[in-house]
Amino acid sequence: MKKFFLLFSLTFCSVVCAKTFVVGVQDIAFYPLYDFPNSSHSKELLDAFAKSRGYEFIYLPLPVKRTNYWYEEHAIDFKYPDSVRWIGDRSVYKQLKFSVPAVKLVAGTVVKAENRGKQRLEIKTLGTVLGFHATMWLDLIDSGNTKLVESTSPLNIVKQVLYGHIDATNIEPSVVNYYLALMGKENGLIIDKALPYEIYSYQLSTIEYEDVLLEFNQFIKSNQEFLELLRKKYNLTDIREY
């Protein structure tokens, strides 16, 4: 009887006592990286981690323009994606704790294939998602040399670059390639290595739950084969080329 009660208690607790966390995510279709609540690289990665620890993640899509205030306004437990690269003037940055890199990506300048090789000063219009930071172009935007063109639709920006309405975009290449494939325009746009680019990472951030963050770090370190399979499944940019 005692064994039965113990088994019942453990089973009951595994269902009822599972920790539930709210993860703030960007309210935008940025496939294959993320498109909550739909399947994507980010969702599959976070779901796999949560399942491995018996957690439940509730994803809360929030406005990209208010990224700096998510922790204060919505009392989220985690934010993904996040990055130390995006700290900027965020009022809570001193309290933030970041995971190890969950995935490494390319921040580059995407142009029409036939327009590669231009100088920075020749890029007069740069397209980006509304609320995203054109980190590597801030000097030319501030000087008035380069005009920032923003849209809530990554597809809209990709089309504008493809059809010559704007000169370039800083949208992540795997997202660009996804939309090009939908339009049957593979290889129509490329990262121009003559223009600024760098490797950066998506990270999980938190203020309160550093213990969970450490578990996430261990999950990342212990599941490299899974992460590589996930990268290939969603056709993410191979950073080894850069």
Is the fold of 18-103+201-241 the same as that of 109-196? yes
What are 5's two structure tokens? 């009660």
User: What is the structure's pLDDT at 52?
Assistant: 98
Q: What angle do CA 192, 236, 162 make, to 5 degrees?
A: 45
Mean pLDDT over the full length of the chain: 90
The larger pLDDT score, comparing residue 29 to residue 67, is at 29
Residue found by looking up tokens 């796999």 in the block: 48
Measured CA to CA, the distance from residue 200 to residue 104 in angstroms comes to: 6
Mean pLDDT of 57-64: 95
Q: Tell me what pLDDT residue 124 has.
A: 97
pLDDT value at residue 93: 74
Domain residues of the chain, as ranges? 18-103+201-241, 109-196
Residues in the chain, total: 242
Q: If one looks up domain 18-103+201-241 in CATH, what number appears?
A: 3.40.190.10
State mean pLDDT over 72-94. Answer: 84
Residue-level pLDDT at 85: 85
Could you give the CA distance from residue 22 to residue 79 in angstroms, rounded to a whole number?
9
SS3 227: helix
User: How many whole angstroms separate alpha carbon 169 and alpha carbon 218?
Assistant: 35
pLDDT at residue 7 in the model: 38
Binning pLDDT at 50, 70 and 90, where does residue 66 land?
confident
* Alpha carbons 87 and 76: distance in angstroms, whole number: 17
Place of tokens 């990209």: 64
Higher pLDDT: 90 or 115? It is 115
What confidence tier does 159 reach under pLDDT thresholds 50, 70, 90? Answer: very high
For the segment 100-150, what is each residue's pLDDT rounded down to a tens digit? Answer: 999 999 999 999 999 999 999 999 999 999 989 888 999 999 999 999 999
Sheet with 168-169: strands ordered across: 147-151, 125-129, 168-169, 110-112, 189-191
Which fold does the domain 109-196 belong to in CATH?
A: D-Maltodextrin-Binding Protein; domain 2 (3.40.190)
pLDDT at 90: 67
List pLDDT tens digits, range 201-242.
Answer: 999 999 999 999 999 999 999 999 999 999 999 999 888 877
